[in-house]
Amino acid sequence: MNLGLETGTAAPALIAALQAPAQAARLWAVRSLPKGAACFAPGDGSADVVLLLSGLVKLVYTTESGEDWVKSFILDQGIFSGRGASDSAESYGATCLEPCRLVRLPRAFVEAEVKSDPQVQAAYGKFSAWVLARKQAREAALLTMSPEARYRALLTDAPQALARLPQGDIARFIGITPIAFSRIKRRVQSGSISPSARLA
C-alpha cells in the first residue's frame, strides 16, 4: 500500500492536456523557485491552480501553536491549489523542499477548460479519481495502521521518494512527533517490531 508518495500518471496527463490551451491564452509562464521558497502561504487567499513540472513540494497545515503537520507531498509532477472550489476557510501552505519549476493558472481558466475541452475533461476525470483513491488509502492507513506500520509500508513501497524527505517531515506525515519517529526508526533499523506494528 502506497500511502501518498506515488506520482502516478494522472497528474502529468492533465498537465499535458492543459499546456496547449494555457499557451494559447498566454497563461503558460514557467517559474523557478528555490528550495525553501513558499509556493503560497496559509490563508493568502490565492485560488490559483499550481502545476508542478519538477521538484518536490510539501503541503502543510500550521496549528495555532505554530506546529506544522504535513498534509501531503507533491513529487516531480503534480497539481494542487491553496483553496478549494468551496472557498473553505481551511487552508494550508505549500513549500518547496527542492528547487521547483511550476506554472500557476487561474482556477476559472482551468474550470472553463474542463467544461469545454474534451481532452482536458477526460484527463481531469482520471486525475480526480486518482486523487480520491490516494486520499482514501491515506485515510485508511491513518485509521487502521500504527505509525510504525505506516513507516514500514513507506519503506517498502516508496523508498526512493522517502529518501528525498526531511526526517521531521516524514514524522509529521505519518502523524507523530519527530521524537517518536526517532524511536520507530531505531526499532526498524535494529530489525525489531513493536507489538502494535504486528497487529496493524
pLDDT in 10s for each residue of the chain, 200 residues: 455 677 789 999 999 999 999 999 999 999 999 999 999 887 776 789 999 999 999 998 887 777 778 888 999 999 998 765 444 555 788 999 999 999 999 999 999 999 999 999 999 999 999 989 888 888 888 889 999 999 998 899 889 999 999 999 999 888 888 899 999 999 988 876 655 554 44
**Nearest to 153, CA basis, from 131, 173, 180:** 173
Location of C-alpha cell 483553496: 83
Output phi, psi for 96, to 5 deg: -75, 125
pLDDT at 193: 60
Residue type, 82: G
In angstroms, the Cα distances linking 156 to 3, 79, 138, 175, 197 are: 11, 25, 15, 18, 14
pLDDT at 110: 96
Asked whether 26 and 103 are in contact (CB, 8 A), the reply is: no
Residue type, 28: W
Asked whether 33 and 71 are in contact (CB, 8 A), the reply is: no
Residue type, 11: A
Residue ranges per structural domain of the chain: 10-135, 145-199
Give the span between the Cα atoms of 195 and 62, in whole angstroms.
Answer: 32
Give the span between the Cα atoms of 18 and 162, in whole angstroms.
Answer: 29
Q: Any residues with CB less than 8 A from the CB of 11 and at least 6 apart, and which?
A: 77, 78, 79, 127, 130
**Nearest to 106, CA basis, from 126, 136, 81:** 81
pLDDT at 199: 45
pLDDT at 120: 97
Asked whether 153 and 3 are in contact (CB, 8 A), the reply is: yes
Alpha helices in the chain (DSSP H): 10-24, 107-116, 118-144, 147-157, 159-162, 167-174, 178-190, 195-199
CATH superfamily for 10-135 is: Jelly Rolls (2.60.120.10)
pTM: 0.85
Give the span between the Cα atoms of 29 and 79, in whole angstroms.
Answer: 15
